[in-house]
Amino acid sequence: MATEVREDRLAIQASVRELARERIAPRAAEIDRSGEFPQDIVDLLREQDVFAIPFAPEYQGVSGSALTTALAVEEIAKVCATSALLLAVQGLGGYPIVLGGSEAQRREFLPQLASGSKIAAYALSEPDAGSDPAAMRTRARREGEDYVLDGTKMWITNGAVADLVVVFAVTGPGEGSRGISAFVVDGESEGLQRNTIHGKLGIRGSNTAELVFSSCRVPAGRRLGEEGDGFKIAMGVLDRSRPQIAAQALGIGAGALERAVEYARQRRQFGRPISEFQGIQFMLADMAAQLEAARCLTHEACRAIDDRDPGITRLAAMAKLVASDTAMRVTTDAVQVLGGYGYIDEFPVERMMRDAKITQIYEGTNQIQRLVIAKHLLA
């Protein structure tokens, strides 16, 4: 059985790799240059059932495995970090429903996300509540059969284009993290204003938005779990989403390494390819070793998720920390290998370096990951 599962996983990875290199890679530079949301890539991932990978077969998905999803995210990120984020965030938006939703809610919403007929977003951060989500100010007060949401969410990936947004809001003022609840909100709800954020350093084609809720009504049946379950759901989601950001970081770094190796073989100085110089060889070797070490840790975190290992939180934080720091080092070194050509957009490594930076920031900054790891060490 294990062999059959592994064969299925490798088949999915190979299929996504082919799709990424043949259909997504030719669009990557233009997506970055224009900064426009790549609806054509959304359509492609929908048509090829890529959005179904994070979801279990009982909800019309094809996998439901964290490791299989990570392999797919990495393959896409090798050519386009923005496109890889489409898959990662589809999973991110679905995880709260998997963890906190009733069976009826799972059967209503998860097939829509698996098919790609609905695009998801996850709204936790606020202007004054990023690393400290328990300090959120968005409120949800009960009125009859509805909740009324008021407040602002910030830095929400897919925020302005999502059909379904999982929103976290305070239902119990003064109760801290125990007073937070989660809701599935329609993206076109009355009382919801969505403002796209422009001018980003990297992942320029990814939609990032501010969400402003003004007396936005949400049916009580859209609440996930009980009142007060929101913070627990949010933290459980981050344990599952951080390894996917690690996978995105790995893909960015691996793509940069491929380009650096290719360039080093072709570029000649002092009468021979620069790949023959020990200084360049050592740089490439370090890049490859660091990526492989980060990949092993990321896959171990995914295994923990798939096996429901109680060590998920620590491993997820380690994977995200190590993979994103590695991606930043590797892409910077790739620019160095290419020299002046690495500094211009004729080659993709400068884009990869810009894209890598966000992996150290979102899903919890790397400083937060160190706090999480230290907390487990010292418990």
Catalytic positions, please? 363
Strands 146-157 and 139-143: antiparallel
333: exposed, middle or buried (Cβ count in 10 Å: 0-12, 13-18, 19+): buried
Interatomic CA distance for residues 213 and 232, integer angstroms: 23
Interatomic CA distance for residues 270 and 239, integer angstroms: 50
Of 43, 191, 53, 66, the residue nearest 119 (C-alpha)? 43
Interatomic CA distance for residues 343 and 335, integer angstroms: 6
Interatomic CA distance for residues 319 and 50, integer angstroms: 23
Of 237, 65, 260, the residue nearest 168 (C-alpha)? 237
H/E stretch holding 122: strand 120-123
Of 121, 129, 204, the residue nearest 167 (C-alpha)? 121
Within 10 Å of residue 376's Cβ, how many Cβ atoms? 14
373: exposed, middle or buried (Cβ count in 10 Å: 0-12, 13-18, 19+): middle
Within 10 Å of residue 247's Cβ, how many Cβ atoms? 34
Interatomic CA distance for residues 39 and 20, integer angstroms: 15
Interatomic CA distance for residues 114 and 289, integer angstroms: 35
Chain-centroid distance of CA 156 in Å reads 11
Under the phi-then-psi rule, with left for phi > 0, alpha for psi from -120 to 50, and beta for the rest, what region is 137?
Answer: alpha
Structure tokens at 331: 């892409």
